[in-house]
Structure 1
Amino acid sequence: MTDDLRADCSNCFALCCVALPFTASADFPITKNAGTPCRNLLADHRCGIHSDLRAKGFRGCTVFDCFGAGQKVSQHTFAGVDWCGSGPRMFEAFGIMRQLHELLWYLAQARTLPAAKSLHGRITAAYQLIEQVTLSTPDTLLAVDVAEHRKDVNELLLRASELTRATVKGKRPDRRGADLMGAKLKGANLAGANLRGAYLIAADLREADLRLADVIGADLRDTDLRGADLTDALFLTQSQINAARGDGATRIPSTVSRPGHWST
């Protein structure tokens, strides 16, 4: 996965800490309006409690991932001029850029799937088209129809997923969009399963086999993944991993990092 699709907070003007709103909840101890700097933001655009976010109730901050959109908007789109001088346009551009970078993340993974080789040409073309959009001027970026790009990309990702999951022998559960909140799935064989958009909040997936399972859009908040095998799970993002619970025995793809809050 290219570094351009990984968050680099050192080259960002803390856009997620300013542009995005949040509400007092289990994820945040306070309510903040969009466009208002978080009370923990320092003058140098750094977080004053970064090492203690979870302990101080800002769990939502540790889950969020911009897919590298923050530094792209900060350093390229607005050429190093921070939000003090760019205002709402920068915040709007950040929201659009994050969606486009998320699509690039999925496409980057799709073109590494051997079983989807027949689609690699189309996937690369789609990647290059969106990449060009992300390098455009603020005015062009703000006029982008993200929904149209998402529709085209989703068709490619779905087909790549089908081709890849078809290589798994045996039954491949189709639980797309299923309500599996709190489900008892310890040790379940979900290899090659379709879990797109599934609600797996607080589900027990300890020691489950999730190899080549499509988890795009699946809600993994508080999902227990201790000992589970997600070695080559399809389209798994850092946000999903950060939201879940795991341990040293949880196997994850090389495209994501093991969260610091996971148990050893």
Structure 2
Amino acid sequence: MTNKIVKSIREGLTADCSKCFGLCCTALNIIASNDFPINKPADTPCMNLQSDYSCQIHSQLRENGFKGCTVFDCLGAGQVVSQVTFNSQSWRDNPEIGRKMFRVFPIMGQIHEMIAYAAEAFSYDIPIALSDKLSEKLKSLQNLTKLAADELLSLDLMTYRLGLNELLTAASDFIRENTIANLPGAKRLKDFDHTRANWMGKKLKDKDLRATDFRGAYLIAADMRNTDLRAVNFIGADLRDTDFSRANLSTSMYLTQMQINSAKGDVKTLLPSHIQRPSHWIN
């Protein structure tokens, strides 16, 4: 798969709120916390949602305590559910459609997330056999986005996720093994395995953590300033308030915009090309 195609897929996973019926502001459940100042039950519009589905405090979300809104990224699921699945029918016009739409939204979000991971894996230099399997998986996921609402609601997403995870892990292991081979000293892949590790608040400043496997790891508020994180697998890692100031994440794998939005960093943090630097990061 060419870089041009991968780029096109990623562009299709960019949220366009102007084409969405405020689904993230309506469908999701909100619990008062450091991320939100209010409790809002699922399937209920946020008090800040306007009649045109825009947010009346969009430019001051963090100042008003809605930090979580600046972290969230639906990967374009909102506009697909609004414009494709429900053919531009709004939940405001039809409450029955709304109830179904709110259930479909998180499902589409998971599908888009899997598409994003699969597309990213194609940007790596991986074996042809593995690339072919990923291509088949990607096509099947893309086809899911075209299903009707009832078909989406009946999906067993875990089956798709497990099959994809095997391929993503294989791609990650291939890249990490090649990276480890060029590191000083005789080391094995398992020496870099920190999957599901609890490193909350851990002091890791100035460390060389290249090729580490942080799948599902808890790295909340970890100090990773000036840390080398190239070829690191971050899939499913909790990076809330992790400090990546001056860190090198340029070739980190399976890093999402939402993970980065929840972390800390600065203008010297090196990010993968498909990740945007959050506007709330310090200069």
TM-score tier (shorter): over 0.9
Residue number in structure 2 paired with 1:62? 70
The change in CA–CA distance for 1:233 and 1:203 in structure 2 (over 3 A counts) is: same
The offset of 1:116, in angstroms, is 4.3
If the length of structure 2 is used for normalisation, what is the TM-score?
A: 0.91
**Contact 1:116 1:164 (8 Å CA) reproduced:** no
The Cα of 1:5 is off from its aligned counterpart by 1.0
Task: Tell me, yes or no, if the aligned pair for 1:110 and 1:116 is still in contact at 8 Å.
Answer: no
1:185 matches 2:212: no
Give the aligned residue type for 1:152: G
Rounded to whole Å, the distance in 1 between the matches of 2:206 and 2:178 is 21
Question: 1:13 maps to which residue?
Answer: 21
- 112, 130, 139: which one pairs with 1:101? 112
Percent of residue pairs bearing the same amino acid type = 48
Unaligned stretches of 5+ residues in structure 2: 1-6
The one-letter code of the counterpart of 2:58 is H
What CA deviation, in whole Å up to 9, does each residue of 1:177-207 have, x standing for no partner?
0000000000111111101111000000000
CA gap 1:116/1:137 in 2 versus in 1, 3 angstroms? same
Matched, 1:31 2:39: yes
> Which residue matches 2:58?
50
Q: Distance in 1 between matches of 2:127 and 2:236?
A: 20
Among candidates 145, 154, 160, match of residue 143 of structure 1: 154
Q: 1:123-175 CA deviation, whole Å, 9 max, x = no partner? A: 01101001101111111111111111101111110111101111112346211
2:101 alignment partner in structure 1: 90
The aligned counterpart of 2:3 is: none
Preserved CA contact (<8 Å) 1:107 1:157: yes
Q: Name 1:123's counterpart in structure 2.
A: 134
The CA distance in 1 between the partners of 2:198 and 2:251, in whole Å, is 23
Comparing 206-215 with 82-91, greater Cα deviation is found at 82-91
Deviations 1:195-244 (A, max 9, x none): 11110000000000001100001111000000000001000000000000
Q: Name the structure 1 match of 2:255.
A: 236
Return the letter of the residue paired with 2:121.
Answer: A
Distance 2:177 2:22 in 1: 42
Structure 1 counterpart SS, 2:141: helix
User: Could you tell me how far 1:115 is from its partner in structure 2?
Assistant: 2.9
- Count residues in correspondence: 264
**Residue in 2 aligned with 1:162?**
173
Distance across 2 between alignment mates of 1:174 and 1:145? 29
Instruction: Describe the SS at the equivalent of 2:24.
Output: helix
| Contact 1:17-1:38 at 8 Å conserved across structures | yes
SS at match of 1:161: helix
Unaligned 5+ runs, structure 1: none
Cα contact 1:111–1:117 (8 A) shared by 2: no
Q: Which amino acid aligns with 2:171?
A: A
Equivalent residue number for residue 4 of structure 2:
none
Offset, 1:92? 0.7
Output the CA distance in 1 between the equivalents of 2:66 and 2:72: 11
Distance across 2 between alignment mates of 1:118 and 1:248: 39
Kindly indicate whether the alpha-carbon contact (under 8 Å) linking 1:165 and 1:213 is maintained by their aligned counterparts in 2: yes
* Residue aligning to 2:271: 252
Q: Say which of 213, 226, 246 aligns to 2:245.
A: 226
1:115 aligns to what SS in structure 2?
A: coil
TM-score (norm 1): 0.98
